[in-house]
Structure 1
Amino acid sequence: MLRFVFGASGAGKSYHLRKEIIERSIAEPDRNFLIVVPDQFTMQTQMDIVKQHPDHGIMNIDVVSFSRLSHRIFEEVGESHEKVLDDMGKSLVLRHVAEEIKSNLPIIGGSMHKMGYIDEVKSTVSEFMQYGIEPEMLDDIMDVCGNKGALKAKLSDLRLLYSEFKKYIKGNYIAQEELLDVLCKALPSSKLIDDSVIAFDGFTGFTPIQYRVIDEILRLSSEVIFSFTLGQEDNPYNYDRNEEQELFLLTKKTVHDLLHLEYENEKSMDPSAVPDFERWAAYRNENSRDVFLKNTEKGRHASNPELTFLEKHLFRYGNAKYGVLKDGDSQEGETAKCTSIGILEADTVSREVQMVLSRIRKLIRENRELHYRDFAIVCGSLERYGEVISNEAGKYEVPIYLDQTGNIKLNPLIEAIRSALLTVTSRYSYESVFHFLRSGLSPLTANETDRLENYVRALGIRGIKGWETDFERIPGQIMRKLKMSNKKDSENNIIEEQKKEYLSDLNSLRQKTVDALAPLFGAEGKTVLDYSRALYEFLTGLGAQGKMAEFENSFRRQGDEIRAKEYSVIYRKVIALLDQVTALMGDEKIAWKEYAEILDVGFSDIKIGTIPQSVERIVVGDIERTRLKEVKTLFFLGVNDDLIPKAAGTGGIISDIERQFLADSLTGIELAPTPRQQMYIQRLYLYMNLTKPSERLYLSFAHLDPDGKSIRPAYLIGKITALFPEVVTERFDDRAEGDIIQTAGNGLDYIAEHIQDYSRGYMNEEEENAFCGLFNALSGHRERLLKMVEAAGVRYDHKPLSDTVASMLYGNFLVNSVSRLEKYAQCAYAHFLQYGLRLDEREEFTFDQADLGTVFHGALEKFSKKLEEENLSWDSFSKEDGERIMEEALTEFTDGYNGNILESTKRNEYLMQRIKRILFRSVDTLQYQLKKGSFVPRSMETSFDEAGEIDAINIALTEDERGRILQRMKLTGSIDRIDTYEDADHVYIKVIDFKSGNKKFDLCALYYGLQLQLVMYMNVARGMAEAKSRGKEAVPAAILYYHLTDPVLDGEKVNPDATGEEVNAMIREELRTRGLVQADREIIDLLDHEAGQKSDVIPVKFNKDGSFAKNGSDVMSADDFEQVSRYVSHLVKKSGRNILKGDIEVNPYSQGDNTACKYCRFKSVCGFEQGIPGYSCRELPKMKDDEVMQRIASEV
């Protein structure tokens, strides 16, 4: 016999069902009574029966889930079946089968390797099994697809994969979903079921395969009772599948389906005696013993009119408002005020959680009879809220149980395995090796890993050959440090010994790494069994089991029982996975890559479940999975529109649109709910959760998601405020701090967050008093408070280096370079870190902008020397010779450069071709520019050392009273190219600096010391020329930048009919030098005989009257050149003095969008922050050239 117990949420259905079963079990001790509940409910239901039973025992009552019922029946009747294939095994088999038939799976075959895709396939196959769909039934489904070609193709792939999956496991395994099919066959032999009373409680619906089991139970048992949630005004027998918006449609559908089963059972016994279904159902429903429970004084909400009103009207039609009759008059005996329901809002998720936890502590503090177990928290998304709640609960000292199955993908054991296997398949790629070494299970310590990684990154060690042969090279940074610490020539032997010691240490670390991975490399190309054995040997060699136990004990000491549980079982679960993989496909030969992918699928299915460590905890869960016991107060967090209603997702392999199409087209075949159906079902879950508490309900939402994006409250907030117009919405900022600060943990957080405001006087008197009171109350945490005070009181006060320290760093003789002086002008502290302390970034095996400049300069220098060797000059080589000689020069210079880095990757090989193309263009253009003038190249890459003792580079910084030099500075460097033209009395000098970037000369930047190179190079070149020219005057003709590039012309500016020569002319104009030229017509003629109105060689342009055009000419008079030259010398001397004085002020410059901090390598070291007192940028105002020259004139 089939019976139902109906009632609204809180009406007492479960209590009524338990009461009836207990009473009948006592009256009928020889009859079996079973209560079937969802898996999550078994333990709680057992506890409730024991508590409710007068003898406090369950005697002849058994509480089971569907899966537990299967085991009980199989044990009873001796049913043997194949080994059950769990989710992990199913994933492994599907992955393997798909690989075998990949060529026959045109749609899904190519995606099986994608992260998460196998889960979608497995989910679809599981759905087919749960809904009783066999592979051949998919043919019928495909028949209704019509012109839906994509859907039909996917279903075709799924049919083949599903069929092959079933063939693969047949006779060896049985899928978890197929257990109920086996149960159906075993039930007729069971005495446990025969003539028993079976009650189903806590379900909202059933899958087709579950209906098959229920059908058998209906035929075999004495009585079957179902409890379902239903509104008081609703008729459970009135089912219309088109009324999807009905709140209890799922209940009505389930009742309808169960009645059909009962009807078919009766009809099978005597078809002639049973009328059609409608008449049978009408008679049965009218004469049934179904129970309809009302929300009476025994109901959950009996003493709470607000929650009673919520249960009656939530998601129902009408405009009911609490405390108001339909005609608008006040309702007698009730108040419109709302004290049992509240809405909380906060700016962020963490603030929302803090608000909820502080409210819980406050409620417990105010009511001694309340316990933590009387509260529950449900979330719109545990993914968003779970970790935040865990962290904040610790600070608020609130015990919680997070009802969430943990994924172990980031566990050190899993990471070690995945990275080690990736090392094998990638042949020692850098990323995989150091992922393994930093997994937490490597054979090296963190410090050893750092040292090894620095070496590998510096020299680009890659591949098996690089790792399995001894390291022999020394990185450049290490060599420089060795030389600097052993400057004397006699100490060369010491350097060699230190090099050997350094390499010996690194090779020892390399060998440990190789030895740890050796078992895996030794198993290549073998069977799955060999791979599993090799992996086990690898884990044993690492001592993985012992290390997991150490992690477990550490977490247990910290009180983190959830992580301790994970680490206690993870090794065993991984070994079980290896066993399962081996059992499924042990003799098959596959590649390591496929084995690693199969394991990855298995890892994704390893879940670590936990149980509450004590009863006195708050259960934290979501609205669908978590089954809550009776609670007094419920907090519903994350009531935002991006979480409620829950997004339907992608629909899996079969999209949402396709699923809806099938639902509308199929008859007789049922699939999982469509997204639209799921949305309505979710309303039922919301109703059940919101009506779960007996005393209070709080809904909360945030305004910003964890990424800082704005989010809105969900439609549910509007529903609640419409039902309860007087409901109070509290904002985090509106509440007294006393409500927020509940424990020392969050009190210290508050101090840390606001101590800067206090120290800077941003608080009013009331806030200051509250802050000081809290600070004093936390005096027991003196050490942490002192650190906060110290941090809050941080201000920057510049303190130069002491004379002793400055002398130790630099002595009285400072060797410096122009680029270092420019760095000092940008920020004195950055200069100190780079050149005083010699801090270095980690050396990388990369080809960067600095390397590009080095190659350009080196190749051009070699090119110039090769011209001399072939008795050619810059103006005499042919285009063909130029390209030939440049190619030779480039090849010679890059051969062996930084470990042949330009041959290390395809990208770098392409870069090499680009460099060659740029250099071909450059020598051609430089020759063209030279031929247009009278200047001739005198030297390339001229070292300052060649200048001798000229004043420009040997600078006296300080003297005593008698004129003796106390401190000196010598400048080092080299000038890319010096061109000269001589007449009887003068040596005219042109300095060219090659730049791989598009740099422009900026007189304002020169004034601030940020751009000194060109002028300093001219000063040095003039000093050298005067020393060699026997009385001739050295005259600055031009200081120029040449941009090493092969420009791409704007197609819109090029005439389609332009000749090759015309295009070349445009390119040459693009490559015109930039800088400063002396405003002397004779000198300009020497630089470009054919300047015309606008030179394509130098930055000079003339007006029609012969004067210099303001726009297009960068010229300077001879007198201004001299002033600028003297000013730069003055600036260099001043900077040198300041460096030796120990001036290391944190004083980054700022000019518009440019600051010294923008690309500074030492951002993380200096601590510069504008908000900290004492820190500020040097604002350098932009000035026009005329204003700059006025200032320069006033200073020199």
Structure 2
Amino acid sequence: MKNFEIVYGDCGAGKTTEIARRVKSLALNRAEEGLMGFENRIYVLVPDQYTLATEKFFLSLLGSNLMVYVRIYSFKRFCRLILERTEGVFETVLGNVGRKILALESVKEISPSFEFYPNGYKNMRFVNLVTETFRLLKSRGISAETFLKISETENNGKLFDIARSYAVYESLFSGEYFDPDDLYTLASKSILSSGILSETAVFADQFKTFNANEREVLCSLFESGAEVTVSSLGNGGYGANEPMWGVEKNIALLLGKIKKLGGEIKKTVLREQVRFKNDEMRFLAENLFVDNSSVYNNRTENIKLYRASDLFDEVENAAAEISELIRSGYKYSDIAVTARDIDVYTGIIEPVFEEYGIPVFYHRKTPLRQKSPMTFILSVISAVVDGFSEENVLTAYKTGFLNAEENSVALLENYFRKWKYAAASFTRPFVKSPNGFGSDVADSESVEKLKIINNLREYFVEVVSKIKDCGKKNSVKNYAKALYETMTFVNMPDKIAEVADFYKTFEEHALYSEQVRVYDMIIDMLDELVFVCGEREVSLEDFRDVISSAAEESDIAVLPTSVDRVVTGTVAMLPFMSQKAVFILGCAEYSFPREVSEDKLFTDEELLILEEKHGIEIGMTSDRKVNYEKFLFTIASLAASEKCFFSYARKGLASSFESSYIGEIRRLFPLLSVEESPLQSGFQGKEKLIINDRTAFALYSRTKAPELRGLLEGTRYIDFIDRGYSDRQSLSADMAERLFGKNIVLSYSKADKFSECPFSYFIRYGLNIVPERRAEMKAMEFGTLIHKGLEKLLPFAEDKDADLDAAVSDFSEKELEIILSGDSPTETFRENYKNVIKKLRRVLYRFREESLSSDFVTVARELPLNSEEPSACPPVRLPLSDGNYITMTGVIDRVDMFSNHGKNFYRVIDYKTGSKTFSSENIKNGIDMQLLIYLYSVVQREENAVPAGVSYVIANPAVVKLKRGEIGQEAKIKNRESKSGGGLILDDRDVINALDKNNLYSNKPNLDGASKVSAEGFAELFDDVLSSLTNIGEALKNGRIPKSPLVYGKIDGCKYCDYGPFCLNKQEPRGSRVRMSSGKEDNADA
């Protein structure tokens, strides 16, 4: 029997270098002797995530000629190799989905007699915990029989529940397949029985610890006669509170087994630090988390600490530091970026590193659950299990596997957003208008949209029909078959192949390979389900949950497409090899270290009983977890040979405070200075953050800091920034014409939007991005219904003999039928609708009263402004500097006329359901020009026309509070005045008297809340609105769309804007032109 060798050493002691030296020496011997067979090869076993990096390392060290004598494997791949060699063909190894469903079945079988978890099988999270416990028991070499005895000895009901489930789980494995954790036991037996590895040399390197299965394989190799050498962290003298103590305790278990086999253990302890190239890193290695550690009393250059304002700032600092390292001679592959949870920085590292021109490779495995084919599968099954919810239907459509145009899916999504509906009603045709309340479902646009939406609805019902036909409970085989038929029905294989070919065309080989593997993994998963328990009956919900859980644990790894890249990943999974510099992000409390909690299945007390009394470790106690966090931090901190960068952010992590580990670093290095975010430091010394135009522009866009601008003055970067911001505020003439038209057509709402904020106008009307809203009885829908009612019922109001109540009731019933389209209204909806109709009735009676008291006659209702219809009013059409025009269109709610002395006096009225007051200041700022433009259009069409006034009529008046004794005529006056939004009235006695011949208003000089204006005043106001309209036209023609909201008084272009997410860098707001010219404060009240 040969010696068993172990190479001890702390981080940086050169364990891998020593292993490599020995491997090379043996390879040279094999080459001299010509020994190339399977039995004479040199095997290097490493953790799965280290295989690729280790292969590259040894290929570089040995060259291709000597590499033929060496093979790099993980333990699992090595065991498969052994079995293939010795057994030829061996039983099928189950994957995640097979194990999950057997674990679920074992829990369900025992659950009726469970003491602690009677309904645990209904919770997939519990099933996952149980599955993981079974895996741990197997990896520790604990049989169901042993665990049952332990549970009985301890008289612990919880342990007994799990032990009985474990026994059933083991019994479910037939001779046709076996648990992957049994792979190690079978391989160990084959190693001993076959003796084929008795002349081999096996090295195990880079392992933090060995589990029971791995220890069993190493012992079998040693017992069979192979040369076995392992490396291990530690030096044999760590205390129980130090990070390496757990590692040494673990390796002692392996050495104990070797001794029982009668083997001699040869120990080599590497005490010299060979990795670290400077005093600071050597000091850190010798003192981090070590009892009675020293203090480094010099300033540090190679250990840095950065306190960021947020996650972007933290990553930008890392990118800037990396760029400096590259300029100083580093390669990108010399650098690693890590964190306890690197996913926190997803969506930040890639774009920031791209700005700095840094190639990066994420060393991570993506769960199959996150891939679009699996998302589609789960969403269609969920549609059957949980109903045709908005989420299930849209998720399936957005994966791209269903035959539907993007615009059609957008219509369906908008329909969902607008109308709340019960999932059960999805199978019935949609009949409500896609445009919401008050819209005619019979108009051609609505009919076409509904046709598209219903086609998608019918198609989706057809897609899920195969699964639905299986019912809520059926055999696994039938469910798998139905799912496969569904995938085939939507042409999933061909569509995945199309995407894969697309990636291949652009030489994205890693993504091409991933696409091909995804479909194969899904098919393998279904095959395994049928193979393991094809005829077993399960619920569709369990079938879905097992697939979902298994897909979450089935990973897809992506290989790097080039060698020279910065590598990034979580501390626990990142293979640190030959890095010169390491960046550790997220060193905030509760982030690194993570917050420690007890095991979900077993308490600390139960775990300690299993470990201390029975030698079974199936989970970490809270204390052990604390030590493990220290261990990971130590591994990351000492991974680099030259430099270590620590950082954390004040915002974006679990805590804004530095972690206790950073406190330890600062204790060891009292002169270590903390670099602050540029925003805190005034950008002093932060030139390193700017290495090109893109980084300068990005940093300034994010911070808008005057100090940064001062720092950049006189450099080429400031010109680039100014040019970029100038370009951001304008479009090319060609693009402006494509978006807004050659001849610009505006409605009053568009004009208001532009005046409030040009950029908001660009998003809404240039890009046509419209926020969708639920079809509910809210302000907007209330207004639509009121307007529709006024349009249809005003003739009844003006006819004093008409039955107005009957007309309102008839209108109410018909509209309600259109809105509901067969659905049953809720009580809240009924109450809201009733209140709307009540208000409509009150407004109509007011108009009846007004018509009897006025000599003004209504001559037009819903009068359109366009030049195409003979009965329409010609719109305002103004010339622009390029020879084209801007035209103002719209629909006038009502036009009244009073004829006197051969002249026609016109008054324009607009109905408003919200609060509205007339303001000349608004008009001068380009807001609320609607009524004056309408009035101007009306009076321009005939010679004897005179502007008599404009007025808002509030269709949703406030409640009137009367003083004691105010009754009769006084109450009527107050009620009428509450319904006015004000306006303008011509300062002409005949006009004023004609408007109120029955003297209904209390104050003739301020009639109905309207201000008196002379004929000259109207002319000036017309000039103002025409000038504002022309200015808007010129701005749009020239593509000027600055992010400059109008803010004064109650006007705020940002307050209710739907496009805040698009506007990250707005300019200073504009104030009122009136107030600026008069010297008043911009934010004064109106």
Q: Same fold (TM over 0.5)?
A: yes
1:316 aligns with 2:278: no
- Name the counterpart of 1:910: 827
The amino acid across from 1:846 in the alignment is A
Q: Any residues of structure 2 matched to 1:590-609 within 5 Å, and which? A: 592-609=540-557
2:350 to 384, 387, 390: 390
Counterpart CA distance in 2 for 1:361 and 1:306 is 22
Q: CA deviation at 1:405?
A: 0.8
2:817 alignment partner, SS class: coil
- Name the counterpart of 2:659: 714
The more displaced of 1001-1010 and 592-601 is 1001-1010
2:186 to 158, 182, 186: 182
The amino acid across from 1:254 in the alignment is N
Counterpart CA distance in 2 for 1:474 and 1:579 is 46
1:573 to 516, 521, 526: 521
- Name the counterpart of 1:400: 360
Q: CA deviation at 1:404?
A: 0.8
1:443 alignment partner, SS class: coil
Q: CA deviation at 1:382?
A: 1.7
Q: Any residues of structure 2 matched to 1:458-857 within 5 Å, and which? A: 520=467, 527-555=475-503, 562-588=510-536, 592-648=540-596, 651-654=599-602, 657=604, 662=609, 666-694=613-641, 696-706=642-652, 711-727=656-672, 729-731=674-676, 733=678, 739-742=688-691, 746-751=692-697, 753-754=699-700, 763-764=709-710, 767-772=712-717, 775=720, 788=724, 790-791=726-727, 794=730, 846-849=775-778, 850-851=780-781
The amino acid across from 1:1073 in the alignment is V
Counterpart CA distance in 1 for 2:227 and 2:838 is 95
The more displaced of 609-618 and 500-509 is 500-509
Q: CA deviation at 1:446?
A: 1.9
1:631 alignment partner, SS class: coil
Counterpart CA distance in 2 for 1:102 and 1:455 is 44
Counterpart CA distance in 2 for 1:788 and 1:760 is 17
Contact 1:886–1:919 (CA under 8 A) maintained in structure 2: no
The amino acid across from 1:552 in the alignment is A
* C-alpha distance 513-1126 of structure 1, shift in aligned 2 (>3 A): same
Q: CA deviation at 1:644?
A: 2.1
Counterpart CA distance in 2 for 1:402 and 1:591 is 38
Counterpart CA distance in 2 for 1:690 and 1:712 is 19
Contact 2:151–2:159 (CA under 8 A) maintained in structure 1: yes
2:8 alignment partner, SS class: strand
1:896 alignment partner, SS class: helix
Counterpart CA distance in 2 for 1:53 and 1:829 is 66
Greater radius of gyration (CA): 1
Superposed CA deviations along residues 620-670 of structure 1, whole A, max 9, x for unmatched, are 233222232233333333333343223446634446x56666568754433
The total of aligned residue pairs comes to 978
Counterpart CA distance in 1 for 2:760 and 2:204 is 78
The more displaced of 673-682 and 44-53 is 44-53
- Name the counterpart of 2:93: 84
Counterpart CA distance in 2 for 1:53 and 1:957 is 85
1:244 to 237, 240, 243: 240
- Name the counterpart of 2:1067: 1171
2:322 to 343, 360, 379: 360
* C-alpha distance 1132-686 of structure 1, shift in aligned 2 (>3 A): same
1:347 aligns with 2:285: no
- Name the counterpart of 1:13: 15
2:650 alignment partner, SS class: coil
Superposed CA deviations along residues 736-770 of structure 1, whole A, max 9, x for unmatched, are 6663444xxx5324235548999999844x62222
Superposed CA deviations along residues 904-924 of structure 1, whole A, max 9, x for unmatched, are 36xx42224534886999999
Contact 1:73–1:190 (CA under 8 A) maintained in structure 2: no
Contact 1:348–1:704 (CA under 8 A) maintained in structure 2: yes
* C-alpha distance 1012-427 of structure 1, shift in aligned 2 (>3 A): same
Structure 2: gaps (5+ residues): 865-871, 877-886, 896-909, 932-951, 979-1000, 1036-1043, 1076-1084
1:89 alignment partner, SS class: helix
* C-alpha distance 1150-318 of structure 1, shift in aligned 2 (>3 A): same
Counterpart CA distance in 2 for 1:820 and 1:305 is 70
* C-alpha distance 449-940 of structure 1, shift in aligned 2 (>3 A): farther
The amino acid across from 2:249 in the alignment is K
* C-alpha distance 559-120 of structure 1, shift in aligned 2 (>3 A): farther
* C-alpha distance 682-83 of structure 1, shift in aligned 2 (>3 A): same
Counterpart CA distance in 2 for 1:11 and 1:821 is 72
The amino acid across from 2:66 in the alignment is G
* C-alpha distance 393-896 of structure 1, shift in aligned 2 (>3 A): same
Counterpart CA distance in 1 for 2:709 and 2:535 is 74
Counterpart CA distance in 2 for 1:830 and 1:386 is 30
Q: CA deviation at 1:67?
A: 1.6
Contact 1:197–1:221 (CA under 8 A) maintained in structure 2: no
1:307 aligns with 2:277: no
Contact 1:347–1:703 (CA under 8 A) maintained in structure 2: yes
TM-score of the superposed pair, with normalisation by structure 2: 0.72
Counterpart CA distance in 2 for 1:675 and 1:762 is 47
Counterpart CA distance in 2 for 1:750 and 1:34 is 51
2:818 alignment partner, SS class: coil
Query: What RMSD in Å do the two structures reach over aligned CA positions?
Result: 6.3
- Name the counterpart of 2:211: 207
Counterpart CA distance in 2 for 1:261 and 1:897 is 81
TM-score of the superposed pair, with normalisation by structure 1: 0.66
Q: CA deviation at 1:383?
A: 1.1
2:826 alignment partner, SS class: helix
1:1159 aligns with 2:1065: no
Counterpart CA distance in 1 for 2:104 and 2:497 is 32
Contact 2:362–2:569 (CA under 8 A) maintained in structure 1: yes
Counterpart CA distance in 2 for 1:693 and 1:1096 is 81
The amino acid across from 1:739 in the alignment is K
Contact 1:755–1:789 (CA under 8 A) maintained in structure 2: no
Contact 1:358–1:740 (CA under 8 A) maintained in structure 2: yes
Counterpart CA distance in 2 for 1:509 and 1:265 is 69
Counterpart CA distance in 2 for 1:728 and 1:36 is 42
Q: Any residues of structure 2 matched to 1:266-281 within 5 Å, and which? A: 266=262
Superposed CA deviations along residues 1022-1079 of structure 1, whole A, max 9, x for unmatched, are xxxxxxxxxxxxxxxxx998989xxxxxxxxxxxxxxxxxxxxxxxxxx9625xx8x9
2:580 alignment partner, SS class: strand
* C-alpha distance 1116-106 of structure 1, shift in aligned 2 (>3 A): farther
The amino acid across from 1:675 in the alignment is S
Counterpart CA distance in 1 for 2:391 and 2:203 is 57
Counterpart CA distance in 2 for 1:373 and 1:825 is 51
* C-alpha distance 1073-320 of structure 1, shift in aligned 2 (>3 A): same
Contact 1:10–1:691 (CA under 8 A) maintained in structure 2: yes
Counterpart CA distance in 1 for 2:518 and 2:803 is 74
Structure 1: gaps (5+ residues): 147-151, 237-242, 267-283, 325-335, 484-494, 776-784, 811-815, 875-881, 959-966, 976-992, 1015-1038, 1045-1070, 1100-1114, 1182-1190
2:133 to 112, 124, 148: 124
Counterpart CA distance in 2 for 1:1083 and 1:769 is 74
Counterpart CA distance in 2 for 1:32 and 1:840 is 65
* C-alpha distance 749-558 of structure 1, shift in aligned 2 (>3 A): farther
Q: Any residues of structure 2 matched to 1:226-241 within 5 Å, and which? A: 226-231=230-235, 234-235=236-237
1:439 to 394, 399, 413: 399
